[in-house]
Amino acid sequence: MSSSNGLTSVGQAVRDMAVGDDPLAAAIRAVGLVEQDPNDLSVGLGGLPNEDGVVELDAAVMHGPTHTAGAVAALRGVMHPARVAELVRTRTDHVLLVGEGARRFATAHGFKEEELLTDRARRIWLRWKEELSDADDWIVPPASEEEDEDVSALLRFSFEENGPRLADAAGRFRLPRPTGTIHLSAINAAGELGCTTTTSGLAFKIPGRVGDSPIIGAGLYCEAGVGSAGSTGRGEANLQNLCSFAAVELMRGGLSPSEAGLAVLKRVAATTPDRLRDDAGRPNFGLKFYLLGADGRHAGASMWGPAEFAVADDPTAPDGGARLETCVSLYDRD
């Protein structure tokens, strides 16, 4: 199962596991489809950059049968950070490599350095920079049809992924700063689990910012015989609650995947600072969890609904039986 941008990925993972692939290997290969897709604004090639216009990627992997994990953060110039995270897991005695060290580790293992900022992502970043302040020297030019399409796509993506508010506190329009990611959890016929989360992180972030995606227990967590969980959305809220670990522990205690997802969302909502609440006292950001039990039960849980997640479970179908299902949600958009 996966975030909704992994509809093709989950089908690929199911087919790969059917011919004997380890669930983590299948998950990593599957999210690579999104990492290399220049039209996905939140992952790998084409991901939105930091405030300096540089794409920085985070990823983590976790292998249920061995309870081992690997991760990279603030990685520049490498399209497939999940693959690098897997090498951290299997070829080092570490769990997390960051920044320049992660880049050097990747190139030592043959990863090609390349420019990840696509022209479309650059135009969106430049529009954000031009709108950032009325007191600087940047001027927003008359929008071309191409730029209007870029902004419209970003607004749709931000609304679907991150909750109901697109304006700042004063009600002025500002190009939103979406968060977006792909998480994928996989289980094979033997009940073995594996999961990965990969992202370009919060759009226009401070250089070096690391969100929840590469942090074990936050961006993902899995345990043999219990289940797997991962997230997309506001990473800071997840980091402060270690939600993926909490969700798996709640499933260990007997809650269903949907019950566990809603329970961790309620924890996040209860600890949200006032500056991040709407007029009704609800979190004004999006956060989603993708939960897979060792018994095959699954659920998506979203702070704001309606929302969807992707699941596949039929290796005999050409698309692996891939489909979108509806998340349970803590709140519904007005």
Where in the sequence numbering do the catalytic residues fall? 181
Supply 269's token pair.
């909502």
- Neighbour tally for 54: CB within 10 Å: 14
- Coil, strand or helix at 247: helix
- Dump the DSSP string for 134-181: SSSS--PPPPPHHHHHHHHHHHHHHHHHH-S--B-TTS-B-------E
- Coil, strand or helix at 21: coil
Q: How far is C-alpha 55 from the geometric centre of its chain's CA atoms?
A: 15
Supply 304's token pair.
């704001």
C-alpha–C-alpha distance, residues 281 and 49, integer Å: 31
Beta strands in the chain (DSSP E): 2-3, 57-63, 68-75, 96-98, 181-187, 193-199, 220-223, 227-233, 287-293, 298-305, 308-311, 323-326, 328-332
